Structure 1
Amino acid sequence: MQKIRVAIIEDNATARSTIRSHLLTIGNLEVSSFSTGNELKGALRKQNFEILIFDFNLGQKRNGVEWVQLLRQNQFIRPSTGIIFLTADRLPQTIGQIIDVHPDVLLIKPYTISSLRRALKHYLDYREQAAHALESLDSEQYDSAIGQLTKLLSSGKYSKISADLEKLLARLLMQQSRYSEAVDIYRNVLEKSDKVLWAQWGKLKCQFLMGNWQDCQTSLDSMLGPLLTRDKAFEWLACLSFEQAAYDTAEFYLDHIKDSQLSLPATRLKSLTYQKQNRVIESIDLYQKKREYNRSTKERFDEFTFELAEFYLSIAQNSPPHNRAESLLQARKLVGVASRSQNDLQSRQRHDFLLAHSYVLEEELDKARALTAQEHMTTFSRSPANTLITAALVYNALGETERAAELFDTVRNKNEFSELPSEYQTLQSQLLSAEKNTGMAQSRGEKYNEQGQQLFIEQSFQKALEAFYHALQLQPAMPAFALNMLQTMLMEGQSSYRNVTTVKLAEIINNSELSPSNAQRFARLQATYPQINSSDGEPPPAASDS
């Protein structure tokens, strides 16, 4: 039998050695140990691990949660990789952060070695029974994995690991946009115990992705009290407000979280709320504060420095060419600071694309082209979404619009699997702005509309709704897109999707000039669904620029 590869990431040498020695007695495990996340990342370039055991605090570095997020986003670990967390920190904010990354096991110190062995044996039992489903997950055969898990659960033989199987099944159903089925699982779990956090957040995320914001609001209201869920609930509420262009309300919710406790995506979201209200100085001050808070944590300091550099570039992009010099100077200084001690490919690539973008904004296209011609600038499999957006802006300016469009597609696909609400919202906003700034709004809108039509034919209505929604965001005055979205919502029995309602879509269509075929289609919908002809009590219009 092939051994299961386990990696321990613990900065304390004694603790690392103790955990390793006890794991070796379990048998059939090949155990490696690392003192930092960077050491693990280097090893992952050469091999995979089936299980990662993280300590939350890793000294003056990124914490364990940040490393899990980074490794997942940049595809250093497989979807099936097991995550086990150990922590001595009992603060609700810390436990909440760990739960956000959906660990398979969480042990709070002081734990006994017997409890560690017991938890690991339970996880190994689950992993053995779900082996075929996990293999299908890694090979992106999601329907096969769902079928295998459903069969295991319906057999009734695996009651001890049923919660683990349900958790994985619900996650896969959500990824396949089968939200109603996933919600049923989460509700069944919560009926047995309403304190199961992974089920609470899973249900909420399904409601969000279905565009069912009324239920989202109800769920979030119940999470504002408990310390374990409070900060994240405020993040979710800020996201809902942001997409409805209620930027002052989004800021109000984020103000309930201490600036020192804001995650990187939440900081980015708060900065965007300032920008939308033309409060540039406050955006800069927020990033500067976050840099100071994290000066002793080099990786985090560099990350916020890159973010501030990107913000200065966005200021330059939105300024007249003759008024860009100061913003570009600040951006280049910051990019140099952020990359000074970074020697991995992703940081180098991010540095060079930001520099290339600064040359584009100075109309020094030859310098930008020379930077993009380097070998490390053409590999994007592990590039973060921010780098991909910057690269798309650069390639579009250099006349490579097809390549830019491909990168936009990659960002959209990456964002579908974002774990954090603020990360999803900020990337969606940045992507939408980039698609408009490149002059590609029309072509991108048409592409999303075509995707939606194909998904509608396949009766994948939730995926179709998402595609039509993106099309409408890019071209809010296009009646054909509004009609396609209206028909899909009616077929799904939804009166609203995010900040779009059927009545408001009907109003947009009513006030637009339609082709004869679309006019006939709209008349049929009005006759079949008379409720769309009344605007009583409906919320404000859809299709914001957020």
Structure 2
Amino acid sequence: MDASFFSCKQILIIDDCAPVRTSIKAMAQQIGFQSIHLARDAAEAIGKCQQIPFDFILSDFNLGEGKDGYQLFETLKAQQLLAPLSCFIMISAENQRQTVHGMIELQPDDYLLKPFTYQQLELRISRAIKSRIALRKIYISLFEQDYHTAITECDNAVAAKPEFANAALRIKGELLLKLKHYADAELFYQQLLQRQKNLAWARLGHAVACFYQQRWDDTELQLADLTQFDETKVEALDWLSRLYVKYRRFEIAHDTLYEAALLSPKNITRLKTLANLASIVGDKPASARINAKIVATARHSVNDIAENYLNQARSLVDAAYCGNVLERAVTINNAAKIVDHLAKRFDASKLKAEITILRSRFLAAKGELADAKQLIGEIPLSYQQNITIDSCMDAAKAYFELGDLYASQVYIDKLQHILDRDDFLTETQRIMLEMEQKRHEALKAKLKIINAEATDAYQQNDFNTAFDRFAETFDYMPTNPTIAINLMQTMLKGARVNEQSQRYVRAAVKLLARSELDEELTVRFKRYLGQLKEMHPEVIPRRRPKEREVL
């Protein structure tokens, strides 16, 4: 393209090194650009993009402090600051596989390695704008999210502009999948592959179409082969991992997605899915480490949200239960520091319910169950009307850890209705929900048996056995007032008094003293408490100020 074409175009050059900006500006002038704008970092670039609709943006990958080039491109796309015909070219001195795969996934118009000449730059710029102009009707329809029109324009471009046919065909196939026309997509890719057998992206599209039609055996073979090509490697690994999840082969699904994450480590959705898979296979500490990586990776990006920090703290609570008492305390303290930091970075008033539930989980993990129950009681169950999937899952776990199966089930039921997306992340969330539901059912079945044994023993005046069974139930439901009352009553009836039984009754008294009880339980508690003071004063816990009125 001649210099007159570029003379009326707006170009933005972004690099944190002033001599490099000057050098690229000189190249742009040689190409024919006259309206040349410079930015030293992403923040300045975004400000300029908000004022000027640039035709070309050249951005270095490493931009010093703040957003890098990858995150800048994400932000410009998310804020719709790139016009349909704008060309974004990434520049970098790095050719590491992680950077290259990340660029393939993000799909800028081109990727240019330093050092380069102005002729090389002109070639890349010309190639990018020629494609944009040739397929402009497609890009405009995509920008307006008019996907059916975009498909029609793809067909028109294939017929009228054979030089750009493959680009138009690729977009059409992706749109057929996006619109869930899976049978049409399969036929489309089959016909395309009959003419061009070695199109890796078309083979990937065909595999995805087969996946959605549940022809998984064929899909696995295709995807495994496509992991050999740089162009399709990361996406093929993603889909292969999702396929293994369909087979319930969670370990290999985790390992496969982990490989994809190593190749392209900036994709936050993939990292979230990987964290879920680590949790599913039982590696809670690994899930916590991945959530920490999400926080670090999302910093400065459009994905830097409070939910990342909440999830990091939540995963640390899950991991805390895998360690001993000392390790648990250290892990919980680390989680608490994350929440404290979160409240400084984001509007804590909008996160009150999520933070309160997390702090309740901190207390429960440290064994301070009465305090945990009192704290979580500040959050009404109506809170679940507007809630994210991760927050809903956390609330279900929090109530389960406190033994409140009814409240936990409320959030599980809510999850059933909000897990409505058809993507890999949501699929892992459904599996985690399924695991939570199984925990519920197993506990309910176990408690039913234990309670029956406790009741039978009590009726037969075998108070030692009855106390042991009620204590076992209390281990699972440590905030249940009815079980706490049963423990007090059984000791008064004649169950053995030793160090272990005293510990259970102290916990029961402490719980009841700090719980809101109905009239019947209040009467029984006061009566049993008075009797215990006379018969076994040693089991009465030391009073706290807030408990004196009751005790």
Shorter-chain TM range is: 0.5 to 0.7
The residue number in structure 2 matching 1:430 is: 429
The residue number in structure 2 matching 1:141 is: 146
TM superposition shift of 1:430:
3.5
- Counterpart CA distance in 2 for 1:140 and 1:256 is 33
- Counterpart CA distance in 2 for 1:122 and 1:437 is 53
TM-score by length of 1: 0.56
TM superposition shift of 1:211:
4.2
CA contact (8 A) 1:102 1:198 kept: no
Report the CA distance shift for 1:325/1:82 in structure 2 as closer, same or farther (over 3 A): farther
- The 5-angstrom pairing of residues 267-416 of structure 1 reads 267-287=271-291, 290=293, 299=300, 307=308, 309-313=310-314, 330-337=334-341, 348=346, 356-361=353-358, 362=360, 389=389
The residue number in structure 2 matching 1:542 is: none
Q: Which amino acid aligns with 1:104?
A: D
- Counterpart CA distance in 2 for 1:354 and 1:327 is 22
- Counterpart CA distance in 1 for 2:101 and 2:109 is 14
Match of 1:250 among 244, 250, 253: 253
The residue number in structure 2 matching 1:528 is: none
- The 5-angstrom pairing of residues 121-270 of structure 1 reads 121-154=126-159, 156=160, 158-182=161-185, 198-199=201-202, 201-226=204-229, 230=233, 233-254=236-257, 262-263=265-266, 264-270=268-274
- Counterpart CA distance in 1 for 2:48 and 2:166 is 32
Structure 2: gaps of 5 or more residues: 361-373, 400-406, 438-551
The residue number in structure 2 matching 1:452 is: none
Q: Which amino acid aligns with 2:92?
A: T
The residue number in structure 2 matching 1:53 is: 58
CA contact (8 A) 1:4 1:50 kept: yes
Report the CA distance shift for 1:366/1:58 in structure 2 as closer, same or farther (over 3 A): farther
The residue number in structure 1 matching 2:119 is: 114
Report the CA distance shift for 1:85/1:234 in structure 2 as closer, same or farther (over 3 A): same
The residue number in structure 2 matching 1:530 is: none
Report the CA distance shift for 1:152/1:257 in structure 2 as closer, same or farther (over 3 A): closer
Structure 1: gaps of 5 or more residues: 343-347, 373-377, 379-386, 417-423, 439-546
Q: Which amino acid aligns with 1:359?
A: T
TM superposition shift of 1:355:
5.2
TM superposition shift of 1:137:
1.8
TM superposition shift of 1:269:
3.3
TM superposition shift of 1:34:
2.8
TM superposition shift of 1:315:
6.5
CA contact (8 A) 2:313 2:336 kept: no
The residue number in structure 2 matching 1:541 is: none
TM superposition shift of 1:99:
1.0
- Counterpart CA distance in 2 for 1:273 and 1:394 is 16
The residue number in structure 2 matching 1:40 is: 45
More helix by share: 2
Q: Which amino acid aligns with 1:269?
A: T
Question: RMSD of aligned C-alpha atoms?
Answer: 5.2
Which of the pair has the greater relative contact order for Cα pairs under 8 Å at 6+ separation?
Answer: 1
TM superposition shift of 1:62:
4.9
Count of residue pairs brought into register by the alignment: 397
2:73 is the counterpart of 1:68: yes
SS of residue matched to 2:338: helix
TM superposition shift of 1:150:
1.2
TM superposition shift of 1:357:
0.3
The residue number in structure 2 matching 1:470 is: none
SS of residue matched to 2:226: coil
Return the index of the structure with the highest Cα Rg. Answer: 2
TM superposition shift of 1:433:
5.5
- Counterpart CA distance in 2 for 1:172 and 1:181 is 11
CA offset digits 1:154-180 (Å, max 9, x no partner)? 1x3x23333333333333333222345
- Counterpart CA distance in 1 for 2:273 and 2:125 is 37
Report the CA distance shift for 1:173/1:129 in structure 2 as closer, same or farther (over 3 A): same
